[in-house]
C-alpha cells in the first residue's frame, strides 16, 4: 500500500510535468488506477464481509456469489414486493453493495452525492 501511494505521488509530482500535454490524461488515468488499487488493498475483504453479513440476514448462510445471484434473481421477478420488511432489507443490501463499491472505485462521487466520511 505504501508503495502504491509512493508510486502514485511520484507519478503525479515528478513524471506528470515532463509529459507532453496530449499524454497528460493517460498519466492521470494511471494515477486513478493506482489509487483504486490502493483503496482495494486497504479495504481487503472487509466490504465483502459487510455485504455477506447483510445477505445472510436475508437468506441464511451461503456462498456470497450464490447469494448475490439469488438476490438479483429475486429482484428481477419482484419477489419482495409483497413483503415490505423483506423489501426494505433487500434495499438496504443494495445501498450497502453500491456504497462499498464506490468507496473503492470513486469516493469523490460518493461525497458529491452526500455520502461518505
Query: Which parts of this chain interact with other proteins (CB under 8 A)?
Result: 22, 25-26, 29-30, 32-33, 36, 65, 68-69, 71-73, 75-78, 90-99, 101-102, 105-106, 109-117
Is 86:57 a contact under the CB 8 Å cutoff?
no
User: With respect to other proteins, which residue has the nearer C-beta, 62 or 116?
Assistant: 116
N residues, the chain: 117
User: With respect to other proteins, which residue has the nearer C-beta, 86 or 96?
Assistant: 96
Is 31:12 a contact under the CB 8 Å cutoff?
yes
Q: Which residue from 82, 89, 80 is spatially nearest to 51, judged by alpha carbons?
A: 89
Is the sign of the CA dihedral 43, 112, 89, 79 positive or negative? Answer: negative
Closest approach of Cβ 104 to other proteins, in Å?
8
User: With respect to other proteins, which residue has the nearer C-beta, 21 or 44?
Assistant: 21
Closest approach of Cβ 67 to other proteins, in Å?
9
Amino acid at each position: 500500500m505504501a508503495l502504491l501511494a509512493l508510486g502514485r505521488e511520484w507519478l503525479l509530482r515528478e513524471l506528470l510535468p515532463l509529459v507532453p500535454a496530449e499524454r497528460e490524461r493517460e498519466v492521470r488515468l494511471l494515477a486513478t488506477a493506482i489509487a483504486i488499487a490502493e483503496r482495494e488493498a486497504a479495504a481487503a475483504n472487509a466490504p465483502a464481509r459487510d455485504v455477506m453479513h447483510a445477505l445472510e440476514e436475508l437468506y441464511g448462510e451461503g456462498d456470497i456469489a450464490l447469494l448475490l445471484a439469488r438476490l438479483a434473481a429475486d429482484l428481477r421477478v419482484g419477489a419482495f414486493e409483497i413483503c415490505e420488511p423483506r423489501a426494505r432489507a433487500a434495499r438496504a443490501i443494495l445501498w450497502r453493495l453500491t456504497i462499498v463499491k464506490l468507496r473503492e472505485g470513486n469516493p469523490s462521487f460518493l461525497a458529491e452525492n452526500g455520502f461518505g466520511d
